[in-house]
Structure 1
Amino acid sequence: MRAAEHAGDDATHAIFHQLNSSFITPFDREDIYALASSLDDIMDFMEEAVDLVVLYNIEELPKGVEQQIEVLARAAELTAEAMPHLRTMENLTEYWIEVNRLENQADQIHRKLLAHLFNGKYDAIEVLKLKQVVDVLEEAADAFEHVANTVETIAVKES
């Protein structure tokens, strides 16, 4: 995960460098910055979640985390598929609608996970550790929605 996050950082820096050295851009500079920054945020949250699991020596994640991860994986697939469409601004509507739906689903999963964590099965320290992991995964879902919202803004401006 760390290598993937560093590769994402490198890509973000390359985008910023290219943007700062280009006079003409495919769409507004601030939108490119927002998009690149939001994509970088996703990777940061994902790396943080993995780091927390390792640093806290969490041996078993609570039931339901796999659903959170499945939602994030689907959002990642959709986002990767949508990025090439920014060249033409076509076929993007379904992307931001579906990512918004996935983020709503992630919110529901997150609330159920929190309820599960506070049901008395775990000791207080374990609850704190696990809560931090599921909260960061929720932040990753929010970041995917932010990317989709940025894509929608770009598409509307450019149409």
Structure 2
Amino acid sequence: MSLNSIFQYFVPKDKKIFFPLFEQATANVVAMATVLVEAVNSNDEVTREELYKNIDKLENKGDEYTHQIYLELGKNFITPFDREDIHALATAIDDVADYIQGAANRMSLYRIDDLNEHIRKLSDLILQASIDLEKAVRELKDLRNVRNIADSCIRINSVENQADYVFDRAVADLFLYEKDAIRLIKYKEILAALETATDMCEDAANVMESILVKNA
């Protein structure tokens, strides 16, 4: 038996199982971000609560994708790129979903009715970053498309910088104009969760940039 035959024996029949799982996970994040934008732009309390519940369901689905990636990582001897990068990318995508859900849960639990322009803007930025995240992940199965992946990662980094500015401006406005200390704390926690979701998108982008460098 040749060395190549021996190597092929250890290669999983579907070593690219990771790609559809990553694509499903990022598509799920886009769905969550889309529902979040819809929720923060709704003036109907009942509708918002239904949308928040939908985000919870989608986050649970995202957990299943992440768990499946971890299982496949343990089962497969050969992986399409570094195991550490697969784990880091899955974790970052899952973190985006967690922070979207965390922000939505706080809006619901804190009974926030006045969803101001800063909350809406941060939600829009999360959706933008999530869409670019999904685009980049879809290109990973063919690392010849380096430019497309890099462009998406650059846009994600730009969105995260915008989110930093919106967050800082929002917190500054809170300290300037909000006289109710409890409301101030509520809003700050929501804003922080939203901004952190864009940080997690940037973390995922950084992992993909690392993958590009290692496979150049």
TM-score category, normalised to shorter length:
over 0.9
State which drifts further: 116-125 or 126-135. 116-125
Distance 1:36 1:62 in 2: 32
Maintained 8 Å contact 1:96/1:152: yes
Contact 1:61 1:130 in 2 (8 A): no
Q: TM-score, with normalisation over the residues of structure 1?
A: 0.97
The offset of 1:16, in angstroms, is 0.6
Give the equivalent residue in structure 1 for 2:171: 114
Work out whether 1:19 is the aligned partner of 2:73: yes
> Mapping of 1:26-41 within 5 angstroms?
26-41=80-95
Unaligned runs of 5+ in 1: none
What's 2:161 paired with?
Answer: 104
Note the alpha carbon deviations across 1:123-155, whole angstroms, 9 max, x for none. 110000000000011110100000000000011
Task: With the length of structure 2 as denominator, give the TM-score of the two structures.
Answer: 0.72
- The count of residues paired between Structure 1 and Structure 2 equals 159
Q: Which of 44, 49, 54 is the matching residue for 2:103?
A: 49
The worse-fitting range, judged by mean Cα deviation, of 23-32 and 115-124 is 115-124
Which protein shows a greater Rg?
Answer: 2
Contact 2:167 2:191 in 1 (8 A): yes
Shift of 1:81: 1.3
Cα distance per residue 1:75-110 (max 9 Å; x no partner) = 011111111111112121101111111100000000
Identity level (%): 36
Question: What does residue 201 of structure 2 align with?
Answer: 144
Moved more, 25-34 or 63-72: 63-72
Q: Gaps (5+ residues) in structure 2?
A: 1-54
Q: CA deviation at 1:72?
A: 0.6
CA RMSD of aligned residues (A): 0.9
Distance 2:150 2:179 in 1: 42
Task: Tell me which stretches of 4 or more aligned residues in structure 1 moved more than 4 Å.
Answer: none
Q: Following the alignment from structure 1 to structure 2, what is the Cα–Cα distance between the partners of residues 120 and 45?
A: 26
Distance apart, 1:3 and its partner CA = 0.7
Aligned counterpart, 1:124:
181
